[in-house]
Amino acid sequence: MKKNWWKVLTILLLLYTLTVGLIQDVPRLPILNETIRALYFHVTMWFGMIILLVVAVVQSVKYLRTNDLKHDDKAVEFTNAAILFGVLGIVTGMLWAKYTWGDYWSGDPKQNASAIGLLMYFAYSILRNSLTDVHQRARIGAVYNIFAFAAFIPLIFILPRLTDSLHPGNGGNPGFNAYDLDSKLRMVFYPAIIGWTLLGTWMSVVRVRLRRVERKLEDKLINQVS
């Protein structure tokens, strides 16, 4: 039970996010109104995605230094979890945009940059699956993962701030800190980030274990054949 405390915490934080996030009063802002609750899902999932990608990059660097496949397993599975959160973040963002901007996709610079960033990581998965040699796949995947992250961060955080964007905190628009005077948003926002990040970690850990079991079975079959 002591080893699983963080899993219990994950469940509690996400239950808190779903319940309190949906029933607690929120600042009544023009246009946004109740749709501001999407902040607890759309933005926090992307924060979780970034944290998972940082872990994946660290594991990619460790693989290049050690050639130990356990680091590659972690790198690919944390990246996969991050991609899932990225997709969910874009979908929830599109729903939010429909009710606030009038369209699911308005060509906003940050929307476009986010889509391009996800496409880069889809390409990462395709590239890995196209390679058959385990260590070659791990080396090329690690290098790609590092460069993809180095391009992804400026793409979604820096470039949108240099152009006109509808997103809060970009293109001269004030961020939510300017509106959340009573800190009600923060009471759910920060726990949600932790909750989604822990959920992504949980998913990644399970997938890493499955990957290692599959590798052991493959090695056993190869030894039996030989």
pLDDT per residue over 127-136, tens digit each?
999 998 889 9
What was the pLDDT predicted at 26?
A: 76
Tokens of 182: 């009573």
pLDDT of 50 reads: 96
Contact 21, 37 (CB under 8 A): yes
Q: 33-59: per-residue pLDDT in tens?
A: 777 888 889 999 999 999 999 999 999
pLDDT above 90 for 226: no
Q: What is the average per-residue pLDDT within 22-31?
A: 76
Percent of the chain with pLDDT over 70: 86
Average pLDDT over residues 201-224: 85
Residue-wise pLDDT for 177-191, tens only, equals 555 545 778 889 999
In this predicted structure, what is the pLDDT of residue 108?
82
Q: Which residue has the higher pLDDT, 50 or 95?
A: 50
User: What's the chain's average pLDDT?
Assistant: 86
156 DSSP assignment: I
Output 157 or 13, whichever has higher pLDDT: 13
**Domain extents for the chain?**
10-171+178-225
The token pair at 30 is 């023009």
pLDDT of residue 102: 83
Mean pLDDT along residues 108-112:
85
Largest Cα–Cα distance of the chain, in whole Å? 70
pLDDT digits (tens, 9 = 90+) for 141-169: 999 999 999 999 998 888 777 776 666 65
* pLDDT for position 110: 84
Distance of alpha carbon 43 from alpha carbon 17, whole angstroms: 13
Is 97 buried (19+), middle (13-18) or exposed (0-12) by CB count in 10 A? buried
